[in-house]
Structure 1
């Protein structure tokens, strides 16, 4: 840990200017002290007041500063959008989330080769209780991506991703344990498209992105993404991607479309915070849909107090709990979205690097939350 963060939260009243300044200063300190290339962060208060801050570089080599408008891959935070889309569809069309998955995907010639295919349900896929392996971590997937990422287009269609787990042994009987799997969310994307006859991106745009004014959020399904900050990946990343995600023209070396409904969005911290505030504050989805998404299961004995709903991580113990949200990681980018239920604040931040530990992410989350909850007063993030 590069430096000790000491946060002492109070609940003193302060001006929005004071809070914005304190928040921005904290973001700058994180960038300097952790030596991130760049970072953006945003908060939304219960009354809708918001502020965004940025520090460092969107492109180190080109000397391009990071700004609050800089966009980054949001990675698995996209699962909150996928789950909200699926649960909304279920409510509108009287779809039983516990009905067999074969109802929508059984006609595919690969379906019976899925682990646990006889009893898989939408709810199990959304809550990561399906027992499906995660294709992202399978040696065959890693090897194939390492070989094929330079190819033009997207070599990894949704069906191609699913094929990496076909005929594999299930991790456990469905519904009995928890194991995170992007593969389950790829299947949810296919279900959404089977139900609607439209692309997932059309559906999520019309349901959430456009109505909520999330104008900086869009599909990350091509190499040229406007406003994208260059990401910086670990030199020993498992896919042998270049350390810098973009070339001299800002175009990605590899196609982020390979993520699809495992994440699949490019966004800003401002939009992510707006999304979190909307969905957990009651404006983004109905109370019935949110309550369904918050129906959760424990992640496991090694993470007491941590649960997973339908596309939502839930922290019921620890500082400032309960906390709702999701994290995101993809080579070159790390993101966090957190809603603090007791105070009603929402905070998101993004870093254009994947070289950040879980502990460091947690420290930033906690300190920024205490800065905002205390309205910028009686809080100290000390390098």
Structure 2
């Protein structure tokens, strides 16, 4: 495991989030929203026998995840499949058209909307964020770019790990989180909590992943447009792209439509416990990790974004530009170089919340994508050895195959 992976796994453990990625994380939704066609998905899966992909997702189940669903778009067409179980104690597989909490993939959506506002001249990327969010007394050296790039130095309200020191945040792990998982947090409350902590470094002088950066970015969208971030997301991205399976849930604890159950396996007073956490109030991750989506919608969104359909070319180039000390992070997405005999550079932004997580990968032009979700089960997953190995094998199968 490299240094970047090691650091992020420590962060996952710190916040109690079920790690499945190398990154972390108003309008109410209704259960009656349109669902992708289940029969169509089944026909696609049955029409393409790709045992190597099925074996790759089965590996995640074998190391302790309850279930996984995945969608791949490549030169062979579309493949969808799932492994494991939809619910502990039952045998049905997770639905391949299921909805799930996408965690920090939310950040890519948020960054896209902010950059659209930049394109319209309503926001300047290198202006002080305080110009748009005067209510928080932000350090005027913090720019909008620094929020999207994680170079602001602002403490993460979910807890932080910097320079070898772990610092607790709001309840985000163990029994305390379980007991408070239906609590509603106001985004301003999260920001003020984070700002009550000392800055980790002077703005722009270092890099540290902070969920609060994107809570601020979500509030910036609301301040500039005069609409909730949920409304603006619907108006700018979800409706134009036809993402009918994607929701900004606000404080609603449910998941609409078909979905697998998710579980949190944790220790309390020396005893291992497993709790069904499918229902949880996502307001603690406002703008940073609260959205719900499907593998189809994530494919459509990421392919459109990297294909140049959502941003002007200069701003897409800014988004894809990795910060030198930022573990490959640009503005709301991440870049990774795979071996020369594979697809070269790939872009991604994975995410997790307690009990579930999501993967979102693509080639630079959006022509080949991998989107997936995993759910936690009733066993502890080895995040140091087995999980990175399973992820590496999966990426090789998708991006290094013929």
Question: Is the pair's TM-score, using the shorter chain for normalization, greater than 0.5?
Answer: yes
| Alignment partner, residue 140 of structure 2 | 118
Stretches of structure 2 that go unaligned for 5 or more consecutive residues are 2-44, 160-166
User: Partners of 2:276 and 2:362 in 1: how far apart?
Assistant: 30
Q: 93, 97, 100: which is aligned to 2:121?
A: 93
| Alignment partner, residue 150 of structure 2 | 128
> Structure 1 residues 101 and 372 mapped into 2: Cα distance closer, same or farther (>3 Å)?
closer
Q: 190, 201, 211: which is aligned to 1:182?
A: 211
CA RMSD after TM alignment: 3.3
Stretches of structure 1 that go unaligned for 5 or more consecutive residues are 2-15, 301-305, 378-383
| Alignment partner, residue 275 of structure 1 | 301
Give 3-state SS (helix, strand or coil) of 1:130's partner: coil
Q: 261, 276, 287: which is aligned to 1:245?
A: 276
Q: Scaled by the length of structure 1, what TM-score is found?
A: 0.79
Deviation for aligned residue 1:311: 0.4
> Structure 1 residues 120 and 147 mapped into 2: Cα distance closer, same or farther (>3 Å)?
same
* 1:1-383 correspondence runs (5 A): 20-27=49-56, 29-45=58-74, 49-61=77-89, 63-106=91-134, 108=135, 111-112=136-137, 114=138, 117-137=139-159, 138-142=167-171, 150=179, 154-221=183-250, 222-226=252-256, 227-236=258-267, 243-246=274-277, 252=279, 254-299=280-325, 306-316=327-337, 320=342, 321-341=344-364, 344-353=367-376, 355=381, 357=383, 360-373=386-399
Deviates further, 189-198 or 20-29: 20-29
User: Partners of 2:109 and 2:268 in 1: how far apart?
Assistant: 27
Length, aligned pairs only: 345
User: Partners of 1:69 and 1:18 in 2: how far apart?
Assistant: 16
Deviates further, 210-219 or 229-238: 229-238
Deviates further, 365-374 or 124-133: 365-374
> Structure 1 residues 328 and 133 mapped into 2: Cα distance closer, same or farther (>3 Å)?
same
Cα distance per residue 1:208-230 (max 9 Å; x no partner): 12222222211233112123321
> Structure 1 residues 23 and 282 mapped into 2: Cα distance closer, same or farther (>3 Å)?
farther
Deviates further, 363-372 or 34-43: 363-372
Cα distance per residue 1:220-273 (max 9 Å; x no partner): 3311212332112231389x9973334xxxx61x31222110122112223222
Q: Scaled by the length of structure 2, what TM-score is found?
A: 0.76
> Structure 1 residues 179 and 25 mapped into 2: Cα distance closer, same or farther (>3 Å)?
same
| Alignment partner, residue 10 of structure 1 | none
User: Partners of 2:313 and 2:330 in 1: how far apart?
Assistant: 15
